[in-house]
């Protein structure tokens, strides 16, 4: 028998269906609530609102579980690679050898970016934040690929996906090259996706470039860990913009903008800036823990806490290990990292953080690896965006395939009631 939830408002009783998800997740279906009662629900920040049904990512914040299409993040990070995980997330199954080769080859057909895009890049000031530049360039792709705006069938959708996978990586690295004043590199179709990332970023025309396998492996893992995280702020943005049928590139561009904020993807940059500030101020972790706990001080310990994980972020555990491997391999001895360790140890024992379930999140450690690799702080969120791209694409695809309606939340109006208009001389 299907379950129901009953809402009682004075004498009115309304039965609402309970929808069952996988692994005992339940949701109250309120689609008919307004029609039956005239009421809407109010849930700022959507803390209790499921905006869609999704078969991509399962997350249990209390237990610290993260799975893509049923596979645990731990298994994927250890046994798979980024492109394979991208395929899994976007198309629903782990690819066969033939399928992954086909996907990689189809992406390679789109790794050349229109040369005219370079004049757009030249229009930005050198010190523009790379996330702003990336968001603009991604949207500009629409102008060079207008057919991608309205995908009418499966083939067009597949082409759009391969295009964004190929071009976004190149554009993301170009934001860095431009800021450095380096020539913009081209994708090398004989190399893998993640190796290309490293070459696009760091290869200079004046000297040979050798890829360090430990570094490549860490980047691959980081991209996998960031690949999807169900209905977070940027993903919800991609689905919302896409729900108006604005097109894939415009939707992804909006996702990049949403990711930029320091409470979301921008936190990895904020973590490093915070650590640098603590270092300049004498490196006293206790002082900053006290600031974070002081309700009259707006300071928050960046890289701690998570909207959904109220237990250790499973991604943080994997990244912490990768960070240790990279630092050992590169022989990095960085005072900033000592401060990070000190903060982490002290916060994990501190009553304030323990009581509120505030653990280090994925951004706390990712910034540490990026810094060790010589990736500048402003690029950290771009790294997150490259990793998150398959998730945004998969969520957009799912939303379009499920023929979801345009996103249009309601509100509770609390402004002035009707007022008669006053002429200017009467105000
Ligand atoms: N430092 C100090 N206190 C904190 C912190 C923090 N980083 N995070 C939460 N708190 C406190 C908060 O003040 C509140 O205390 P009280 O109950 O006494 O009022 C309590 O913990 C609950 O906080 P909240 O703001 O209601 O929690 P939330 O779930 O709405 O916010 C968060 C989650 C991630 C926005 C928040 O923890 C935060 O601002 N963290 C720092 C920024 C950060 O690292 N963001 C990256 C998130 S992971 C990457 C991603 O997926 O985008």
Residues 344-367, mean pLDDT to the nearest whole number: 91
- Is the CB of 67 within 6 Å of ligand 1? no
- Annotation marks residue 127 as catalytic: no
- Residue 181 to residue 183: CA distance in whole angstroms: 7
Identify the pLDDT of residue 327: 85
User: With a 6 A CB cut-off, is 266 part of the ligand 1 pocket?
Assistant: no
- State in Å: Cα 288 to ligand 1 middle: 15
Centre of ligand 1 to C-alpha 310, Å, is 10
With cut-offs at 50, 70 and 90, classify the pLDDT of residue 321. Answer: confident
Mean pLDDT of 261-265: 86
Atom 31, ligand 1: residue with shortest CA distance: 307
Residue 269: the pLDDT is 84
Least confident of 27-41, 122-136, 157-171, 304-318: 304-318
Lowest average pLDDT, out of 272-276, 301-305, 322-326, 418-422, goes to 322-326
Nearest Cα residue to atom 45 of ligand 1: 263
Q: Which of 109, 112, 186, 189 is nearest to 144 (CA)?
A: 112
Indicate the pLDDT class of residue 368, thresholds 50, 70 and 90: confident
Ramachandran angles phi, psi of 331, nearest 5°: 65, 40
| 342 given a catalytic annotation | no
- What does the pLDDT average to over 171-194? 96
What average pLDDT does range 151-161 have in this prediction? 92
Strand partners, 233: none
**Ligand 1 centroid – CA 398 distance (Å):** 30
Cα–ligand 1 centroid distance for 225 (angstroms): 20
344: pLDDT strictly greater than 80? yes
Quote the ligand 1 centre to 226 CA distance (angstroms).
19
Higher pLDDT, 197 or 3: 197
In this predicted structure, the answer to whether residue 43 has a pLDDT above a threshold of 70 is: yes
341 - beta bridge partners? none
User: Ligand 1: does its nearest atom lie under 6 Å from the Cβ of 305?
Assistant: yes
Q: Is 363 in the pocket of ligand 1 (CB under 6 A)?
A: yes
Mutate to test the pocket of ligand 1, among 66, 267, 305, 312 (most ligand atoms within 8 A of CB): 305
Residue nearest to atom 19 of ligand 1 (CA): 295
For residue 32, give the 3-state DSSP assignment. coil
The residue whose CA is least distant from atom 28 of ligand 1 is 307
Cβ–Cβ under 8 Å, residues 366 and 306: no
Burial class (CB in 10 A: 0-12, 13-18, 19+), 374: exposed
Look over the chain and give the mean of its residue pLDDT values, rounded to a whole number.
93
- pLDDT of 147 above 80: no
Q: Are 131 and 381 in contact (CB under 8 A)?
A: yes
pLDDT for the residue numbered 334: 79
Q: How far apart are CA 97 and CA 330, in angstroms?
A: 33
* Predicted local distance difference test score (pLDDT) of residue 121: 96
* pLDDT class of 374 with cuts at 50, 70, 90: confident
Ligand 1: atom nearest CA of 306 is 34
317 pocket-lining for ligand 1 (C-beta < 6 Å)? no
Q: pLDDT tens digits, residue range 77-112?
A: 999 999 999 999 999 999 999 999 999 999 999 999
| pLDDT of 148 strictly over 80 | no
Q: Is the CB of 310 under 6 A from ligand 1?
A: no
Quick one: pLDDT at residue 24?
86
Q: How far apart are the CA of 399 and the centre of ligand 1, in A?
A: 29
Is the CB of 347 within 6 Å of ligand 1? no
C-alpha 140/C-alpha 419 separation (Å) is 44
| Active-site residue, selected from the candidate residues 306, 313, 329, 334 | 306
Give 264 Cα–ligand 1 centroid separation in angstroms. Answer: 11
Q: Of 94-98, 152-156, 252-256, 388-392, which range is least confident?
A: 152-156
- Report the atom number in ligand 1 closest to the C-alpha of 300: 1
Report, as an integer, the average pLDDT of 214-235. Answer: 95
Of 184 and 1, which is predicted with more confidence?
184
Q: What is the pLDDT of residue 228?
A: 98
Find the 265 Cα to ligand 1 centroid distance in Å: 14
In this structure, is the dihedral angle defined by the CA atoms of residues 332, 204, 214 and 226, taken in order, positive or negative?
Answer: positive
Asked whether 285 lines ligand 1 (CB < 6 A), one says no
Query: What is the value of pTM for the model shown?
Result: 0.90
Residue 150 has pLDDT above 80, yes or no: no
Give the pLDDT of residue 260.
Answer: 94
pLDDT score of 253: 98
Residue range 263-280: average pLDDT?
Answer: 89
- Concatenated DSSP letters for 215-249? HHHHHHHHHHHHS--SS-HHHHHHHHHHHTT--HH
Share of the chain above pLDDT 90, in %: 78
Q: Is 315 in the pocket of ligand 1 (CB under 6 A)?
A: no
């Amino acid at each position: 028998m299907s379950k129901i939830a009953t809402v009682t408002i004075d004498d009115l009783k309304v039965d609402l269906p309970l929808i069952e998800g996988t692994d005992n997740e339940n949701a109250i279906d309120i689609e008919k609530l307004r029609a039956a009662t005239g009421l809407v629900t109010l849930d700022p920040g959507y803390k209790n609102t499921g905006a869609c049904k999704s078969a991509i990512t399962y997350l249990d914040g209390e237990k610290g579980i993260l799975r893509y299409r049923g596979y645990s993040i731990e298994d994927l990070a250890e046994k798979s690679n980024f492109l394979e995980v991208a395929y899994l997330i976007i198309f629903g199954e782990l690819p066969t050898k033939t399928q992954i080769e086909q996907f990689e080859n189809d992406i390679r057909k789109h790794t050349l970016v229109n040369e005219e895009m370079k004049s757009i890049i030249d229009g930005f000031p050198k010190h523009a934040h790379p996330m702003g530049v990336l968001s603009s360039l991604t949207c500009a792709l629409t102008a060079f690929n207008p057919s991608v705006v309205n995908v009418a069938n499966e083939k067009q959708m597949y082409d759009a996906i391969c295009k964004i996978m190929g071009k976004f990586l190149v554009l993301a690295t170009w934001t860095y090259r431009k800021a450095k004043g380096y020539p913009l590199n081209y994708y090398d179709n004989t190399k893998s996706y993640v190796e290309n990332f490293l070459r696009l970023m760091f290869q200079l025309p004046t000297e040979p470039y050798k890829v360090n396998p430990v570094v490549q492996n860490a980047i691959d893992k980081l991209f996998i860990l960031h690949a999807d995280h169900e209905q977070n702020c940027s993903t919800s943005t991609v689905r919302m913009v896409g729900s108006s049928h604005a097109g894939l590139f415009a939707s992804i561009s909006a996702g990049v903008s949403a990711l930029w904020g320091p409470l979301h993807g921008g936190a990895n940059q904020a973590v490093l800036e915070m650590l640098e500030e603590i270092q300049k101020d004498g490196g006293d972790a206790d002082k900053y823990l006290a600031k974070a706990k002081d309700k009259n001080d707006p300071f928050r310990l960046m890289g701690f806490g998570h909207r959904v994980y109220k237990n250790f972020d499973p991604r943080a555990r994997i990244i912490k290990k990768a960070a240790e491997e990279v630092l050992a391999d590169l022989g990095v001895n960085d005072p900033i990292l000592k401060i990070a360790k000190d903060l982490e140890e002290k916060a994990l024992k501190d009553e304030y953080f323990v009581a509120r379930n505030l653990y280090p999140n994925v951004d706390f450690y990712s910034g540490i690896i990026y810094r060790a690799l010589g990736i500048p702080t402003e690029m950290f969120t771009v790294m997150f965006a490259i990793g998150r791209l398959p998730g945004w694409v998969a969520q957009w695809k799912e939303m379009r395939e499920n023929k979801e309606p345009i996103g249009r939340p309601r509100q509770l109006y609390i402004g002035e009631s009707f007022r008669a208009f006053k002429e200017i001389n009467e105000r």
